[in-house]
Structure formats: C-alpha cells, structure tokens
Amino acid sequence: MAAQPLNGSPIMLSYRHSFHAGNFADVLKHIVLVECIEHLLKKETAFDYIDTHAGAGLFNLTADYATRLAEHENGIGKLRPKEFPELASYFAAIRNYSHSDTINVYPGSPAIAKYFLRRQDRAWLYELHPQDYQLLAKNIGGERRIRISQSDGIKGLGSVLPPTNRRGLVLIDPSYEIKTEYAQVFAAIEQGYKKFATGTYLLWYPVIDRQRIDLLEKRFKNSSIRNIQRFEMGLQQDTSGHGMTSSGVFVVNPPWTLIDKMRSLLPKLAMALSDAEPPHYLCAVVAAE
C-alpha cells in the first residue's frame, strides 16, 4: 500500500511526524518495538497492541515533507541490512511497505505492528490530529482486528486495559511539545500498571532538556513499577538550544532477552548513526524485577 500524501496545514496540533520519519529516533524505537512484539508472538495466545499516538502510519520518503529535513538520511538511510543480520525482522517489516530493497516508504509504529499481528491479535490505534487520523485510517485501517480512534490515546488507554487475554503491548510516544506531557505519560503508565501489571509498556522520549529525562527516570525509580529497562542513543553529545540530540525508550516488563541483545547491538548501531565522539548510547536497568 502506498503512503497517502499529506496536504494542507494542521488544524489542531502543529507536530507532524512525517517530517522526521525514519530518523535515528525512529530506528531505535522501532527496533525495540519489533523485539517486544516478536516475544509476544512466541505464544499462540492472542495479544493486544495499543498505540496512543499512532500518527499517519506510512511515510513516503521521496515526498516533499520528508526531503525537506531529510532526517531519514541520518537514520534508516545509513543502515545496510547485510551489516545488521540481527535486525532481519525489522528490515522485513520495512520492505513489506516499500516493496523493494530501496526504502522509499517508511512504516510508522502502527504499520510495523500490523505487519506482525496474527488473525487472533488486535490493535487499538489512537490519533488526535485530524489529518493524520484520516491518513491512518487509509493506510492501516480496513480490518476488524484494528480499531482506529480520533481521540486522546492517553485518555483512551484506561478503557482498553487490561486486555481480555491479559497479554498486551502499549506504545506511548507523544511529541512532548507540551512540557506537561512528561508527567502525563508517566502517570498514564503508572495507572495502566495498576490495572495491567503484566503488560509491556514502551515509552519513547526525546533528549532536548536532559533534566526532564533525569526527572522522568527518577519518577520510575520511586514508583511501585518494577522490571524497567532503558535504552538511549544520540547523534551528538547533549547541547542546549539545538533540538533533539538523543532519544530513548523506557521499557516496562521487557522480554528477558532484550537487554542482552541491546547491549550487543547498540554500540554497533551508534557507530553507524552517531556523529558523537565517542558514540553515545545507553543500556540500563532502571528497576529490577
């Protein structure tokens, strides 16, 4: 399926992920996402995938909105599948939408999830931006197992937890344009954990202000949530006033294989993508089981 074009200006929210699709932050986030989904696939029992900020789903990397900043050139554009055999499933999901070895369409998280979902699994996709919601419905919708809602995913999360089969994966990755979102996303996971303590939660974050990330980690450490890991990678060392230098994910209830794989992969990935000397990456256990 070809990615739908993006026309016009935003009506409600200014952030559009289309300008950043396939960048280094997407690469890290989606690698972790694929690892978590594949772990759930090891059992036949159905699971639910919940995406609170789903976006448009597919992004045409040759379109004006993608070439304007060309962030994918310092992300997925730098990676060669033959050099990363451990990421075969991630590249397979991407090729599924580009239909060739040349990556001209980059799938967002809901499209990646859809690629792996089985007949018995379900997806709950939330997108508040009206234009991105319409594109999401065109790009990803059309199946009963995939529910798409033009609404606030943070507010909607409570209505779908816990899943019927008590197996699920939640991805939360807002734009953080509104600074209160840092506290809101942590509160959403904390509340979700009370209802569904065995679920896997992925929280993506940008490093623009390191103090905000330090505070976010402190919140996790001081909470009752256990079994938390954190993975981070950056294009350069922390700076002030220069936008996002690094990004990362907190993972609650990660697959038991995840940290070993990331400890092996991240140095190699950072060498390929980072301009920092030495390359910046982080693998850490925030809270043990």
* 152 part of the active site: no
Q: H/E element holding 232?
A: strand 228-234
What residues contact residue 280 under an 8 Å CB cut-off, 6+ apart? 232, 233, 234, 235, 236, 237, 246, 270, 274
Helix (H) or strand (E) holding 149: strand 146-149
| Dihedrals phi, psi of 119, to nearest 5 degrees | -60, -30
Q: Which of 26, 152, 173, 260 is catalytic?
A: 173
Farthest-apart Cα atoms in the chain, separation: 48
CB environment 81-118: b (16+ within 10 A), e (fewer): eeebeebebbbebbbebbeeeebbbbbbbbbbbbbbbe
Q: What are phi and psi of 65, to 5 degrees?
A: -65, -25
Q: Hey, which residues are catalytic here?
A: 173
